[in-house]
Structures are given as C-alpha cells and as structure tokens.
Homo-oligomer: A and B are copies of this chain.
C-alpha cells in the first residue's frame, strides 16, 4: 500500500464528464489498495470566467476580494469530484485549502505556503476515505482565503505530498509527460522518461508550463518524487526525482524512478528545449553609471512585488557616464512594474523607460552542459543559420537561454531541436503547454 497524491489540472477537469473520468481513475487507485489524496484545480474556463466578471466591474479589483472570487472555482470542482468518487462507491471527502491546513502569508494573489497542518486529510485517509483538496488556495493569519498564483495547484500537491510523506506525487495533465520540445512546434519531439530536479527546475524556469517552478523547487527541497503523466491514458509519463545516488541515499524515490533512471545513465547531456512567450522586456535607458543605481531599480521593483527573470546591464555608448538596464519579467507584472518605475523617476534618474511585450525566450537544458565544449557554439550557430537575431543571453550550469523576437520563436525552437539531433531515437528531454494553475 502506497500513499499517492494526485493532482488534476484544469485540462483534466474540463466539465462534469471529465470529472467522472477522473473519479474512475481515483477510485481504481483506491481499490488497488492505496491511500489517495487528490488535489484539484478549477474546472475548464471557470477561472477565466470569474476574472471576466471581475474586470467587467472594475479595472483593478481589490486583491483580497479577488482571491475570494477565484477560490470559488476550486470549491465547485472539489465538491463535484467528491460526489463523482462517491458515485464510484469509494467514500470521498472534500476539503478547502483552509480545511486541509494550508497556511500562507498574506500576499493575496501570490501567497506563499508558510505551514502545513493537514490533520483532517490524515484523519480522512486513515478512515479509508479519499481526501480531495482544493488546489491553488490557502488561508492566512486573518482567516482569509489566499490564492497561490500561477502553478498554485502543483504547489499544493507537492506541499501535501511532502507533509504526508507520500510515496509519489502524480501530476496529471493532457500529455504523456515532458517532451524534448513542444510537439505542437516540433512534431518529432519525444517523451522524456526521467529527469532530475535540477534539469526540471531549469526547464520550469525557462517557460515549460506543465510543471511550475515553485512546485519543482518545493519537490526538490522536500524530496518529493514527481510523476508527470496524462489523465487521458494509463501510460507511464516522466519521472522526476533526485539523481540516483542522492535518491538512494535518501531512500524516498519510488522504484520505477530508479529503474528508468538507471536505464538512462548514458543519455546524452541535452535534455530538451523550452520556450516561453509569456514574458515582457523593460529597458531603463540612461541611468547614471554610478554604484547603487542598479540596486535602486531592483529595490523599486521589489517593493512593487514584481518578479524579474533575466537582467542585462551595459554602458551606454551614446551617453557617456550613463548605462542601460534591461530585464525580462512575466507579462502580468509589466503594468505594475512600469507604474512603479515611472512613479520613482526622480529617485532612479533614468532618461527613458521602454516596455517591449513582443519577446520570446528559448532555453536549451542539459546536465553538465558547461563542461561540454562546443554546445554553445552549436547553439548560437543554429540560431545564426536560421537568421535569428539574439537580444539577450543568460546561462547557468545546465542551461543557455536567449531572448529573441516573439515572431522568431517557433523557427528558433525547430532549428535548435534539429541541430542537437533531438529528433533521433536515443534522445530524451523536454517541454511545453499545460495549465496556468
């Protein structure tokens, strides 16, 4: 008997029929003798519909009330899923984030989990029930509902799996795992059987939408093995855990993950290509080229609670004694960022601030990439040969990312996928598509 946390996103619970399909899968797992905790997102377009209603009333909804509104989506799906599972003759109880003991800070709309007290969930599964928990939401110190922001349901699932010492956290989506590239752009892309957390983190950070960065970070920190798979098939998906050595030391990754991993020891270093259209670029032109001004910029952005991704600073050629700072950020953060930067223009002393939404980010991910000569050369010449202009570059131990024009993104993905022979049979790697929460 294992303890399994299953997370079903919006694409798996589109309507009441899909809920019934999910209920059958949950019931099967329970009848096979496992303890099951299910984390569920809002159904299909519910969240968008609720947001539309809010924006028909006000351009800027009060954040506390917006979280109350959005949390209604999971209340509906969790209650209906409990009914559907009961209908399969498996007893099920539904719990809100608050009832499942998911305690958060008070940052409405992007709350962080600060504590897990899932007593009622533990009692439910020990009583033989399936426990259903609303994803994406928690409760703060004022007893108000908060939402966890993008990828929040994944984070709920991983946090519960960690607190309950689950054997595995299954993330259900509409594809059979993670792929070497988005199959909608590269039809020859292949499914990846195993990944370690570091590769997955880079992929998630690079715009792979199936798994959210926060959830992967959480899983890595608390050693929660993940299994990303399709709710539309029984196929094994992609297993994500610590590297075999780490994992066997800790003794927490499931056997399947080891087996696949061991099959894969000789895998090529490139694990895949991720892309991201959801970022914008902001450039501050003509900042004083003195110590402290870069810090001021990120202080102002931090106060506005804006998340920054890539940063490039360079000395301005045209204006001596001045420098430019360019950074990328999630498109939803662009308006508050611009507002904050403009409000503090005197403090920052820039000459101009420019917002460009038409950018795309492409990332090549692979373990030990930096120690393999020629990878960067091959990467940049592939882009050059495809006639693609590179705007910004950032690299890490296991990743090279470039910012390019949004319209070039698909061509760039295909060019790099081809240059690294990811179409061929021996390869494994990642990623695309997926749900927002």
Contacts and interface: CB of A to CB of B under 8 A. Distances in A.
Interface of A: 16, 19-20, 50, 53-54, 56-58, 61-62, 64-66, 68-69, 71-73, 75-76, 78-80, 82-84, 86-87, 93-94, 96, 99, 143-144
Contact of A80 (B16, B53, B87): B53
A71 B76 CA distance: 9
Contact of A16 (B53, B66, B82, B94): B53
Contacts of A20: 57
A352 to B, nearest CB: 33
A94 B80 contact: no
Nearest to A50: B76
The winner among A16, A69, A79 for most chain B CB atoms within 10 A is A79
A17 to B, nearest CB: 8
A75 B137 CA distance: 14
B83 A57 contact: yes
A72 B65 contact: no
A22 to B, nearest CB: 11
Contacts of A96: 68
Contacts of A82: 62, 65, 68
Given A16-B53, A94-B65, A99-B143, A58 B79 contact: no
A265 to B, nearest CB: 47
A222 B86 CA distance: 42
Contacts of A19: 57
B68 A54 contact: no
Given A50-B76, A143-B99, A86 B68 contact: no
A144 to B, nearest CB: 7
B84 A57 contact: yes
Contacts of A16: 53, 56-57
- How many chain copies? 2
B75 A87 contact: no
A72 B69 contact: no
A78 B68 contact: yes
Contacts of A93: 64-65
Per CB-CB distance, the 7 closest pairs between chain A and chain B, nearest first, are A69-B79, A68-B79, A72-B75, A72-B72, A65-B82, A65-B79, A58-B87
Contact of A54 (B53, B64, B73, B83): B83
Contact of A58 (B53, B64, B72, B83): B83
Nearest to A143: B99
Contact of A65 (B53, B83, B144): B83
Contacts of A57: 16, 19-20, 80, 83-84, 87
Given A86-B62, A99-B143, A68 B50 contact: no
A53 B82 CA distance: 13
A64 B83 CA distance: 10
Contacts of A78: 68
Contacts of A143: 99
A71 B74 CA distance: 12
A84 B58 contact: yes
Contacts of A83: 54, 57-58, 61-62, 65-66, 69
A76 B76 CA distance: 11
15 contacts: A19-B57, A57-B80, A57-B83, A57-B84, A58-B84, A58-B87, A65-B79, A68-B75, A68-B78, A68-B96, A69-B75, A69-B80, A71-B75, A72-B79, A75-B75
Contacts of A73: 72
A78 B87 CA distance: 32
Contacts of A72: 72-73, 75-76, 79
Nearest to A16: B56
Contacts of A65: 79, 82-83, 86, 93-94
A27 B294 CA distance: 45
Nearest to A132: B65
Nearest to A120: B143
A83 B70 CA distance: 13
